[in-house]
Amino acid sequence: MQNNSSIKLAHFSDEHSAELNEFELPAEQSPFTALPKDVLTDAAGQHPIVILNEGKPVGFFILHATERVKDYSENPKAMLLTALSIDHKQQGRGCGKKGMLKLPEWISREFSHCDEVVLAVNQKNTAAQHLYLKTGFVDTGERKMGPIGEQIVMSLKVK
């Protein structure tokens, strides 16, 4: 298991493209998330974030500061986290957990207006639910219907 200081969060840049395009997911995870190459866009209000281990991309997610956030939180300072994925070759090493543990401090620094991160996780995706709970997210009690079933809305206070 890597030391925690080797894991960093960074805004996506073109230097990460080649490695992110090589990401793979096991078949059982593909219904619940998306590969970076399938969701990377220049859309306004979407901030692609890379989880780096010793400078190498091992994970990816998107933070949204768009109207879409209102579907999950009434907090005008909230951001929505979507599309978290850890490259299959890197799974089981704690990279996702370490990345999510760094999220509150990193968001405070990079998005100082934000005081909450919300997300929706499919109720069948128990591995992701455990990851989020272990890293400070709480179940809000709200549920949404997603494309493949009920989703649990979770929240992480940043400040």
Measured at the alpha carbon of residue 159, what is the angle toward residues 120 and 50, in degrees to the nearest 5? 55
**pTM score, two decimals?**
0.90
Q: What is the token pair recorded at 61?
A: 């997610």
Buried residues in 88-107 as b, exposed as e (16+ CB within 10 A) = eebbeebbbbbbbbbbbebb
Task: State residue 5's pLDDT score.
Answer: 67
| Tokens read off for 55 | 């400078």
- Tell me which residue range forms the domain holding 99: 4-157
Give the chain's domain count.
1
The domain spanning residue 145 has which CATH number? 3.40.630.30
Segments in the chain below pLDDT 70: 1-5
Length of the chain counted residue by residue: 159
Q: Quick one: pLDDT at residue 1?
A: 42
Q: Residue 18 CB: number of other CB atoms within 10 A?
A: 9
